[in-house]
Structure 1
Amino acid sequence: MALAGCASRPARPVASGGTGGAVGGTSGRRTPPTPAPATQAPLDLDPAAREASVAQAMLLVNTPYRYGGNTPEGGFDCSGLVAYVFHVVAAPATRRLPRSTAQWAAASVPVDDAALQRGDLVFFNTTGAAFSHMGIYVGQSQFVHAPSTGGTVRKDSVDSRYFGARYMGARRVFAA
């Protein structure tokens, strides 16, 4: 499976290997210490919106993928899906939400896999860049994302062979 979407440039091979745990301990998914760009303060969204974000993401399953897309009518790329979901359920009145995967990483705080909760963001290296793909964690090692051209928004396992090998970590946008 080649994911050429979201922060897409032409796909480059991703180095395999690494160590670390997995959500639920079911794969060799690594948890590398990859820091996000520290360019803005964390969003600290209202934790009450956590379950609403999961529900909204699930409602968008089967919406077509579109590079640069950020609406149900026009389709979504991965960061457009996340931006739309959080705009609908938790948009802060005085602050713009991030748009790119790197911006989302910079506006969130790292979460240990053992503390991963529904509504947290999961990040992957699908193009040779640490934060080139993302989705919303919905529990039980599953996440919702907009994968690539020709696809639709769908739910996949963080621990799948493809995503487990490219997993870069989880991050949180909700206040503690």
Structure 2
Amino acid sequence: MRIAKINLFAVICVFLLIIGSNSLVFASGQDMPVLKQGEKSEAVYTLQAELKRLGFYQYSVDGNFGLYTKASVIEFQQTVGIEADGIVGEGTWQAIRNYSGNTELSRGKSDRRIGQQIAGFAQKYLGVPYVWGGSGEGGFDCSGFIHYVYGRYNISLPRVADEQYDTGRRIPLSDIEPGDLVFYSTYAPGPSHVGIYVGNGQFIHASSGAGEVTLTAMSKPYYQARFLGAFRVIR
């Protein structure tokens, strides 16, 4: 009887430790259940919270293992070099635990991943009309486009180009990555135009000349001659 009471007390203590934290504390992969798409549980909530902390999951932490959660799991599995099947078993739990131990490395990879996501998200608006003063899906000017896109990722930037300029950290062109801002002196002296670098030597911007959101090569002579610098605002 005494042993049973001790065991019951131990179970209660563990339960209180679990619900008193933001996520389940797992000492090893064996302590966590196998998870796959279609499940809904506290363990899924923990999985989403951990992946979000590491920068792999950008959606609602709701405990529901849906398509977005599976895609994030697969991306994590590919990153750490384990079987990318979207199923969270002992090996994936262990990898999450080990990966979280290197905070600086995780943060750097997370920043690059967010930059790539921003560059991809921005391209959804290709062809949206250029509208002077516009900062919504019905039409953008250059800085309004930047303000809108980054705002969707909870990155607050000033509204106009000359204030967005120098907001982040200036970087050399040799280090530019998707999601970095590129500034130009166009219709007025100083930083009067801004876009988002998307990779492959191109940037996306709301162009008054094109009359819409468009992709342009940074090597284009007009922009090459007016380039002011690149800045990284994702931290």
Q: Does 1:143 align with 2:208?
A: no
Q: How does 1:19-168 map to 2 (within 5 A)?
A: 47=111, 48-73=113-138, 75-88=139-152, 90-92=153-155, 96-148=156-208, 151-168=211-228
Aligned-pair distance for 1:128? Answer: 3.6
Fraction of identical pairs, as percent: 34
Report the number of matched residues.
Answer: 125
Moved over 4 A (4+): none
Structure 2 gaps, min length 5: 1-109
SS at match of 1:50: helix
Aligned-pair distance for 1:127? Answer: 2.4
Aligned-pair distance for 1:59? Answer: 0.4
Structure 2 match to 1:8: none
Q: Which amino acid aligns with 1:117?
A: E
**Greater helix proportion:** 2
SS at match of 2:123: helix
Q: Which amino acid aligns with 1:51?
A: Q
Q: In 2, Cα distance between the equivalents of 1:153 and 1:163?
A: 16
Kept in 1, the 8 Å contact 2:166–2:231? The answer is: no
Larger relative contact order (CA 8 Å, sep ≥ 6): 1
Q: Which amino acid aligns with 1:169?
A: G
Aligned-pair distance for 1:164? Answer: 0.7
From the CA coordinates, give the structure whose radius of gyration is larger: 2
* Alignment RMSD: 1.5
Aligned-pair distance for 1:99? Answer: 0.7
Structure 1 gaps, min length 5: 1-45
Q: Which amino acid aligns with 1:87?
A: G
